[in-house]
Structure 1
Amino acid sequence: MESKIEVLSTITVDHTDDLYKIVDMLNRTLKRNDLMFGLALEGNNKNKAIFTIYRT
């Protein structure tokens, strides 16, 4: 069984301590719609985060 994940959109935003809570809520709410959300720090810059939306 092959799983294909497609990147729909990516944006760089200012990092805040609670940003992960939004990503978690989106993943829990929209997983049945084949959507997944990711959050990563931007390289060495701890003040920026990369938010990505995927279709699974």
Structure 2
Amino acid sequence: MENKIEVLSTVTVNYQTDLYKIVDVLNRTLKENDLMFGLALDKQDQEKAVFTIYRT
């Protein structure tokens, strides 16, 4: 069985120290709906964060 992860949406936002809390609560709340959320610092601009929504 192949387990694919599909990117649904990506957005770049200004980085804030508490952004990870939003991603954490989304992952805990919506994992039953086969959704996963990610957050990473932008490689080009460390003041920006890339927020991604995945379907698992």
Q: TM-score, normalised by structure 1?
A: 0.95
Structure 1 ranges of 4+ moved more than 3 A? none
Q: Per-residue CA shift, 1:3-50, capped at 9, x if unaligned?
A: 100000000000000000000000000000000000000004211000
Say which structure is richer in strand.
Answer: 1
Amino acid aligned to 2:45: N
**Distance between the aligned counterparts of 1:18 and 1:35, measured in 2?**
21
Q: TM-score, normalised by structure 2?
A: 0.95
In structure 1, runs of 5+ residues without a counterpart are none
Residues 7-18 of structure 1 aligned to structure 2 (within 5 Å): 7-18=7-18
**Distance between the aligned counterparts of 2:18 and 2:10, measured in 1?**
19
Q: Identity of aligned pairs, percent?
A: 73
Per-residue deviation, 1:2 = 1.6
In structure 2, runs of 5+ residues without a counterpart are none
